[in-house]
Amino acid sequence: MGFDPKAIAASIMRGYITDTPSLEEMLYVKGKVAIVTGGTSGLGFCTAQRLLQGGAKVVISGSTDEKGENAVALLKEAGFSDITFCKADLCSEADVESLVKFAADTYGSVDILVTSGGAWSFAHIYDLPEEDFMKTVNINLAGAYRCAKHVSKYMIEHEVKGKIVLVSSNVAYMPQPVFGGYAHYAASKGGVISMTYEIAKELKRYGIMVNSVAPGGMKTPGGLTNGPVRSLSPEKQMEIGKELRVAKLDAVPTADSVAMVIYGMCTRMADGVTGECIVADSGMMRNIVSYQPAIEEYPPKE
């Protein structure tokens, strides 16, 4: 029989049809078990809710029992039953290891990790105490490392082809706020993106896909209450507080708009994506705005 390109093409295209999973399988995370750090508030809470909507069983972690119990109560009140809290300090490797074991013991697996737990504050580099720099890096960067380390170890040992999403920030690409004050946070979140590339390279052979999502400013409880480094003098706190009020955004994205992107990266829709950073800041990094807000002149001219 001679070479028949039409028959070969038809065979390939027939394979497309027979090998295509249903949209339900691609879009939902039914039966999956997810760990969401920082899930007691803000972005982590919204991400946990979306994963629950998608059919996952979710373990949220945070630093206090009070916030954890409150978050679980709210989600159960909304009709979700497969939600549990596990207290964990991201600066403690023992806590993180226990968190992974808790999720596996409670729900039978660990298929998804989202690291949305984090800390931030504001201080110019010339005023920034080293302890605040190290604390921010320890929670945001080293905390993500600890989670990825122990979750990936579990996935490899149990042959789980899972999804890991490390939450970064668009501050890794652009200086913020208007007059700075974010060097420690930028260092930690830039490190998360670089680490994502390397971890993705290491885990691809095990079928584990690793990506990062970088939000911009969001409307969250933490975003509304965070401020200058508390150890700064009252005068320095007032100075940087005044600078923070200069910036104006055309709109403040909701945490859920970012949570939906994270959710998508946890589904089979993202099976072909690894080692990427998805910037989910509604165009902020590219200066894509619906209108240009005015910025007061600062400091005023003499």
180-214 pLDDT, tens digit each = 889 999 999 999 999 999 999 999 999 999 999 99
Residue 17 lies in a domain: no
**Model pTM above 0.75:** yes
Residue 177 lies in a domain: yes
* Residue of 107, 154, 173, 185 marked active site: 185
185 catalytically annotated: yes
Residue 298 lies in a domain: no
The pLDDT assigned to 159 comes to: 98
The pLDDT assigned to 299 comes to: 61
Domain of residue 163 covers: 24-282
The pLDDT assigned to 300 comes to: 65
112 versus 231: which is more confidently predicted?
112
Q: Residue 282: exposed, middle, or buried by beta-carbon count in 10 A (0-12, 13-18, 19+)?
A: buried
118-160 pLDDT, tens digit each = 998 889 999 999 999 999 999 999 999 999 999 999 999 999 9
Q: Is the dihedral of CA 265, 270, 275, 277 positive or negative?
A: negative
Residue 100 lies in a domain: yes
Residue 10 lies in a domain: no
The total domain count for the chain is: 1
Here the CATH number for the domain that contains residue 122 is 3.40.50.720
